A and B are shown apart, each in its own frame.
Chain A
Amino acid sequence: MEQGSTSATPATSAAPSAATPPGAAPAVAGVAERARPGLAERTTDTLERSWRPVALLFACFAAWWAISATRLVEPYLVPSPGTTLRVMGDKAGYLWQHTWVTTYETLLGFVIAVVVGVFAAVVMVYSSTVERTLYPVLLFAQVVPKIAIAPLFVVWLGFGIAPKIVIAVLIAFFPVVISMVTGLKAVDPEMIELSATMGAGPLQTFAKIRFPASLPHLFAGLKVAVTLAVTGAVVGEFVGANKGLGYVILQANGNLDTPMLFAGLLVMSVIGVVLFVLVEIAEKLLLPWHASHRRDAATTTY
């Protein structure tokens, strides 16, 4: 008799969870669908977030302008912002041409550094023999001051684009390798075991679990690497070049043409900032799920 009563009751106890009819509109208690915020709302949101850094930038310009306007420093040492901007406007073609060269070298160096760095990291993570062999060499390549060996590359590779790219690669490579190795090693070991019970081969595990899981770490490295790549390209231009922003700055310095020097510096910083922002945008598009981008995702109280 007791058997009979037990078999009758579970049906009711299990009912609440199983009651949702399949295929029905997902009406979950306490969850209300809401429309996406409109364009106006998003614009004010963006402004709200971005006015502070813009204001700080303007404050810096104002301070610079005040210093040069009150003649605290001689104009041939620090030109006024007005003069600098005028030079940028007047010599836009000349600056643009050299900016393009530096950007090109930076990007090429960065891309090569990423490809080689990611590949080296993957090989090192999958083979401890390779890791033990390669790590000291990598570290050595990193601690040698790139500026000190830059002239050597000019001797070896000439005045063309090659030595700039080599230096950019050398300088940007290290953060990529380190971040990728960390990322690949930070994968949940249970996830790897689970993947083994799913019958996944090493390639599948890499493509579906290890690689995506390492991307947040990789992007941290990429952001460092892309700014360093600019430095690398300019260092390459300093030691021997007839084009590029490094050459522009060196020329301007020799001619005591400080407005042009400052213009070069400004453009160079802009390249770095733009590339950094591009990497950050790529990160946001590729990793919307990562904790660092959840600021205004779904869960806030209201």
Chain B
Amino acid sequence: MTMAEETLAEPAAARSGPGDGAAVDLDDVAVRFRTKKKDVTALRQVSLSVAMGEFVAIVGPSGCGKSTLLKLVAGLLRPSAGDVRLRGEAVTGPRRDIGYVFQRAALLEWRSARRNILLQAEMRRMPGAEARKRADELIDMTGLRGFEDAYPHELSGGMQQRVALCRALLHRPPVLLMDEPFGALDALTREQMNIELNRIWRETGTTVLLVTHSIAEAVYLADRVVVMSARPGTVVEIIEVGLPAERDYAETMAREEFSAATTRIRRLLGAASGAE
């Protein structure tokens, strides 16, 4: 927890109170969308509390409102009912004290990898020298060294996603929101990215909310896995994974806790989608 507090680089973000334990707090949240012809309830009665420094994965059938949940936390969407709090503060508009990673890397085509990462610093008007130093650190941390001057179209999908991750981490956000960040990658790259994300999470102490379709990914990375039902999405069960923070990939896969958790989640998801 103290690590998460220490990583705050921004004085503007630091003033936002003690955080009193919960990094993210959702209380009886509902989201309803209105389109021309129909009203859709995306989320109902969602309550979830994520502690500082915790890694929480969210799994659920397609269209159950997982991404909507992240957008609520980021302040990109407003809930139809209920309260959303980020680090003890009610979320009323887009929040700057987060990092956001989408499924598609969403890089600017006309900027090199490094300048895409530095976009974060430019928008936040961070001091240039400090930002460049931090970018270099992240480039080393994510294994982008040697590709920092390449343009997005010259990078593979995995590399592009690494750039997006660096961009999201540049300002040392206390909360990192990831919306299926590795969904478009091949299985091997995905495993490698999982290993790296685990290491980055341990090194930065950031609170992470990860939406994923992969049960293995969720269990390997997270402290707790939130299982959601099909639309209208709600929390079915929260599973404590009970694995140590530092996890070797192959070894973790073979552990009992891992298979117990994945089996439990599979059963829940089967039941959840079967009930529809």
Q: Which residues of A contact B (CB under 8 A)?
A: 2-3, 5-7, 9-10, 13-14, 17-18, 20, 22, 24, 26-28, 31, 188, 190-191, 193-200, 204, 208-209, 212-213, 287, 289-291, 294, 298-299
Interface string of B63-77 (1 = CB under 8 A from A): 000000001001110
* Contact status of A198 and B119, CB under 8 A, knowing A17-B196, A22-B145: yes
CB contact list, B164-192 vs A, under 8 A: 192
Q: Which residues of B contact A (CB under 8 A)?
A: 71, 74-76, 94-96, 98-100, 102, 104, 106, 108-110, 119-120, 122-124, 136-137, 140-143, 145-148, 151, 153-154, 192, 195-196, 198-199, 244, 246-249, 251-252, 255
Do A6 and B244 touch (CB < 8 A)?
yes
Taking CB as reference atom, which chain B residue is nearest A19? Answer: B143
Do A198 and B192 touch (CB < 8 A)?
no
In the complex, A193→B136 CA distance in Å? 25
* Contact status of A13 and B248, CB under 8 A, knowing A26-B145, A190-B102, A299-B154: yes
In the complex, A215→B199 CA distance in Å? 40
Do A197 and B109 touch (CB < 8 A)?
no
Q: Distance (Å) between the CB of A43 and the closest chain B CB?
A: 27
Partner among B109, B123, B247 whose Cβ is within 8 Å of the Cβ of A204 = B123
Q: Which of A10, A20, A287, A290 gathers the greatest number of chain B CB atoms within 10 Å?
A: A10
Do B96 and A197 touch (CB < 8 A)?
yes
Q: Distance (Å) between the CB of B11 and the closest chain A CB?
A: 13
Do A199 and B123 touch (CB < 8 A)?
yes
Taking CB as reference atom, which chain B residue is nearest A197? Answer: B100
Do A199 and B124 touch (CB < 8 A)?
yes
Do A20 and B95 touch (CB < 8 A)?
no
Do B145 and A20 touch (CB < 8 A)?
yes
What 9 A-B pairs are tightest by C-beta distance, nearest first?
A28-B146, A17-B143, A199-B96, A26-B146, A198-B123, A196-B94, A9-B248, A200-B123, A289-B110
Q: Which residues of B contact A3 (CB under 8 A)?
A: 244
Do A9 and B251 touch (CB < 8 A)?
yes
Extra inter-chain contacts (13) besides given A7-B246, A197-B99, A287-B110, CB under 8 Å:
A5-B251, A10-B195, A13-B249, A20-B140, A20-B143, A22-B136, A28-B147, A193-B100, A195-B123, A197-B95, A204-B123, A212-B110, A289-B151
**What are 29 A-B interface contacts by the 8 Å CB criterion?**
A5-B251, A6-B246, A6-B248, A6-B251, A10-B195, A10-B248, A17-B143, A18-B140, A20-B145, A26-B146, A28-B146, A28-B147, A190-B104, A190-B106, A193-B71, A193-B74, A193-B94, A194-B102, A197-B75, A197-B76, A197-B95, A198-B119, A198-B120, A199-B94, A200-B123, A208-B123, A212-B108, A289-B153, A290-B109
* Contact status of A7 and B98, CB under 8 A, knowing A197-B76, A212-B108, A290-B109: no
Do A193 and B76 touch (CB < 8 A)?
yes
Q: Which residues of A contact B95 (CB under 8 A)?
A: 197
Q: Distance (Å) between the CB of B116 and the closest chain A CB?
A: 11
Do B145 and A194 touch (CB < 8 A)?
no
Do A22 and B124 touch (CB < 8 A)?
no
Taking CB as reference atom, which chain B residue is nearest A288? Answer: B110
Main secondary structure of the interface of A (DSSP, over half): helix
Q: Which residues of A contact B246 (CB under 8 A)?
A: 6-7, 10
Q: Distance (Å) between the CB of B164 and the closest chain A CB?
A: 9
Q: Distance (Å) between the CB of A218 and the closest chain B CB?
A: 14
Q: Which of A9, A20, A199, A289 gathers the greatest number of chain B CB atoms within 10 Å?
A: A199
Do A188 and B146 touch (CB < 8 A)?
no
Do B151 and A7 touch (CB < 8 A)?
no
Taking CB as reference atom, which chain B residue is nearest A215? Answer: B110
In the complex, A290→B108 CA distance in Å? 11
Q: Which residues of A contact B98 (CB under 8 A)?
A: 197
Q: Distance (Å) between the CB of B77 and the closest chain A CB?
A: 10
Q: Which residues of A contact B251 (CB under 8 A)?
A: 5-6, 9
Q: Distance (Å) between the CB of A130 and the closest chain B CB?
A: 23
In the complex, A188→B199 CA distance in Å? 31
In the complex, A6→B137 CA distance in Å? 26
Q: Which residues of A contact B252 (CB under 8 A)?
A: 6
Q: Which residues of A contact B140 (CB under 8 A)?
A: 18, 20, 22
Q: Which residues of B contact A31 (CB under 8 A)?
A: 146
Do A194 and B100 touch (CB < 8 A)?
yes
Do A191 and B199 touch (CB < 8 A)?
no
Q: Which of A13, A28, A197, A291 gathers the greatest number of chain B CB atoms within 10 Å?
A: A197
In the complex, A208→B94 CA distance in Å? 18
Taking CB as reference atom, which chain B residue is nearest A198? Answer: B123
Partner among A20, A194, A298 whose Cβ is within 8 Å of the Cβ of B146 = A20
Q: Which residues of A contact B255 (CB under 8 A)?
A: 2
Q: Which residues of A contact B110 (CB under 8 A)?
A: 212, 287, 289-290
In the complex, A199→B119 CA distance in Å? 12
Q: Which residues of B contact A290 (CB under 8 A)?
A: 109-110
Partner among B99, B192, B247 whose Cβ is within 8 Å of the Cβ of A10 = B247
Q: Distance (Å) between the CB of B13 and the closest chain A CB?
A: 10
Q: Which residues of A contact B192 (CB under 8 A)?
A: 17
Q: Distance (Å) between the CB of B208 and the closest chain A CB?
A: 15
In the complex, A9→B71 CA distance in Å? 36
Do B247 and A188 touch (CB < 8 A)?
no
